[in-house]
Structure 1
């Protein structure tokens, strides 16, 4: 795989078809935007130009940082290691609570962002000792062609790739996109269609189809995040229904993160999530058979750490992004009782810690 010869930020898009009325329908996500010439989809980065669909942000990024992999959040995928994180502009959802809205709602980001070819990204991640590259900040499904090219370049250099996504993607595009990913954290934003429709302009069922596909038809390591918003998705009945569905449809080994909301974008008047709500959600998940459930965006070692479901001993001590205890053997099993812990682990944990380090890309030559 080589860089685009022209280094242009507009490249032909995939997953679209012509309609009888002369419009073109984008099939990347279930929104199925239908466009006349010159129009853009709701995501803003996929557009019709002439007789084809194009991606307008190939090779452009909103910036790069090295993060702890726990920030994605991923607690069972190469713990303690650094990951190079980046996003582009735009999004195919309209979440009123978006905590990256400066990026996801950007309309001129492609004019302001840095040139970032796939080889430059992979080379930079490798040089800084990163375990993987994460597509994050905005949803990578909307820049599928670019994400796939970056993933190919990363694999050629022995790096893994992580998608941080809402999982709102069409079935055909889904297969190609996740074929190139090693891990994914999927935002399961709520468990009612009312929540998805009113706050995100989307539908729950499409996300659930992605989750089932990932779990049963791929080898992608998956973890789930539920941003708990007071008055919107924080009821015990919803926590019960969600965690029972995850247990029954995806299995008990899928880690679930219940993360604290802070006021942002169009929900500035909504209060922060009380820590006790997160603890309650975690308990409900565990009571419903989930083996790994965590609180997020708060300091709480007890409810952020990983415990053995066999003997109850602590396996990975964790306070937000800082690791402490490590009681896994070289094969990912509990040193106390030998019970296997689900995940992708190295023989020893990484030592990156909680720091966040902005970086500049290295030249591709």
Structure 2
């Protein structure tokens, strides 16, 4: 759903940019409360993983494909404020390096794909968490539903922005019907990817999943063919899971992202995604402008002067994942350090006062 330059007029694009900048500013402050020494590097990994999976377009209808938006996944794994930043980093990297999503439309894309998806999905996720049992299965089910709803919500948001500043004269009713209809289908794919990913991480490290904080994971024993909770052992307590290093999960996640972007992406659907298809069918793309980064050596997810398509796309994917994890990790470590620095003066004052 990357909006290119030319779909939305300048005044509305500027207004969306202001909204996006405000949301990012609020998220930078909010992320200080969500990030700690264990989750800060994982936030960079989440951004890189979203970048990789967005390269894997999947077919949803005749001649149409979809891809992960990632707002729900990021919000549930690392928190809603950090989630907005994760998706924003991905969109920034895609726009500058890969000419995917217009630079003048960056505010529109952040508003639609980062802010709307994150706010809608996490609000719904937390609502479901209050009424469902606190179990791993409930977390996965809640993630599925939240991700499913977030995609048509983003399509609805784009339609509203187009109604305010669309550069072509297309009846808004047709845009609304087409956008929401196809993105409901894309939402199913989003929900499956999100639920599988969240479920996999919750199964091994629930303490690292923001949306699963406090989730207990008792030892299970099979008795009479049924799984039951084991009685607490009368032995010294083991090292708390929260004290374990996340390096293993981080390494596994990075390898997975590199494989998806560097190899699996070659087999992704070549059909236009939902927005591209709707735009072509209804004439929304009549005033599309050439991307400012069209001459980038990585434009269109290929490496310039590398003739082999498989190798070119794979290298571009690996470069994208590596760059995203580096930039994202740097940003999140900086946010984490600001939280530590902000806490230090108060700590020092308290110590001085007690002296």
TM-score range for the pair, normalised by the shorter chain length: under 0.3
TM-score, normalising length: structure 1: 0.27
Relative to its length, the structure with more strand (as a share) is 1
Which structure's relative contact order is higher, taking Cα pairs within 8 Å and 6+ residues apart? Answer: 2
Relative to its length, the structure with more helix (as a share) is 2
Which structure has the larger Rg over C-alpha atoms? 2
